Chains A and B, each alone.
Chain A
Amino acid sequence: MAPFQNGFVTSPRLGYSLIQMADVLEQAALLDRLTAKQKEVLGYISDGLTSKEIGRKLGISESAVNQRIETIRQRLGGMPRAQIGRLYRRQSTLMITIPPSNSLTGKTIQLQASRKRAQAWSSEGVVDLAAPDAGEGNDKLQPSNFSSIWNGPGAIWVRLGAIVAMAFGMIAAGVLLLDLIDKLARLLAPNA
């Protein structure tokens, strides 16, 4: 069965996946009110760290961490600490199976959604996905070309090839630069 017909989603699996993504993006908007530092604290809370451990990681006191957590709680409508941790984890990672109609056919990927970017950890490594709200053509959920090559199957050989190619480029640039310096030096000081 085709996943789309007359502009409607007809595949239940695709529909469920889209609902999950919409939910995540709605919560992302809620968390977008927070500053980068507050999000960092939230990340540690979602990892299950205590205030003391977070303070040690950030190089600040335990009371300063608690103060930040209190501000976060206020901004999120007074949610308990455990709940905001769960919310952040749910927002930042979501296991999702791409329906068979998609180019990432049937692969289970872990999706990280943000306003501008989404990343997926799949069997092919980490790939960048276009976020659904990031603009034109992003409804296709495609990995970027560079990322899929750099992290895809055979990435070790691709990277080795790139390193060797860059090395050749650097040698060529170095030789040209030295030649240029030499010519410049002869031009500036012909008798030296």
Chain B
Amino acid sequence: MSGFAQSLADLPNHQSGLLAVFLLYGLPLSWRSAGPPERAALLTLTGIAAMDLLVLLYANGSALLHLVADGLALSWMLPVALRANRFYPAVIAAALLVAVLAQLLNLLGLTRDAGSVTFLVNGLHLLAVLALLGGSLVHRRIVAEGARRPAWRISLSQG
């Protein structure tokens, strides 16, 4: 990859800190008006951001630990996406799925360029945050109109 693209790939390493700050400030602000799916997504993304920072600080950016963090986040978000009475958790789950696959391929040495994988993974994390932001705003608007919005699908057992 060329120098310009490499510098773009390096940028997200610093973004994870910004993301953590954004989420940690956003958490108490939006917690009260959020429904259970929004809270689950907020906790998941905050967890990823916090783990990213810890891995960066204490484990020298270990690819395996990044994969574990994203894998845990995916295993937490997938049931939420399948059960929630919302659309955006599915977008977050899809973004995490791609992030996990990309990191797994990178760890197995099946990718040509680790920088591109980092760029892709951080871009997907950003997409997940934007999906959460959009979903939370939509939820807030619906609730403000006076409508009650169930958090989960009613007939979970029917598949």
Contacts and interface: CB of A to CB of B under 8 A. Distances in A.
A169 B94 CA distance: 9
Contacts, number: 107
A186 interface: yes
A126 B120 contact: no
Nearest to B4: A185
B82 A156 contact: yes
A75 B110 CA distance: 68
Given A167-B98, A182-B1, A188-B4, A151 B153 contact: yes
Interface stretch (B19-27, B52-60, B65-73, B141-149): B141-149
Interface residues of B, number: 38
B2 A182 contact: yes
A22 interface: no
Contact of B90 (A163, A181, A188): A163
Contacts of A169: 94
Given A159-B90, A170-B124, A171-B98, A123 B147 contact: no
A126 B90 contact: no
B5 A182 contact: yes
Contact of A192 (B4, B98, B148): B4
B75 to A, nearest CB: 13
B148 A43 contact: yes
Contacts of B90: 159, 162-163, 166
- What DSSP secondary structure best describes chain B's contact surface? helix
Contacts of B91: 166
Contacts of B124: 170, 174
A166 B159 contact: no
B8 interface: yes
B119 interface: yes
A154 interface: yes
Interface residues of A, number: 46
A138 B8 CA distance: 51
A154 B3 CA distance: 48
Contacts of B159: 153-157
A123 B98 contact: no
Given A119-B147, A121-B150, A182-B1, 10 more contacts: A116-B145, A125-B155, A150-B87, A154-B159, A159-B81, A170-B95, A170-B127, A174-B98, A192-B2, A192-B3
Interface of B: 1-5, 8, 32, 78, 81-82, 85, 87, 90-91, 93-95, 97-98, 101, 116, 119-120, 123-124, 127, 144-150, 153-155, 158-159
21 contacts: A117-B145, A123-B155, A125-B154, A126-B150, A155-B153, A155-B159, A157-B159, A159-B90, A164-B94, A166-B90, A166-B91, A170-B94, A170-B124, A170-B127, A174-B120, A174-B123, A181-B4, A181-B8, A185-B3, A185-B4, A185-B5
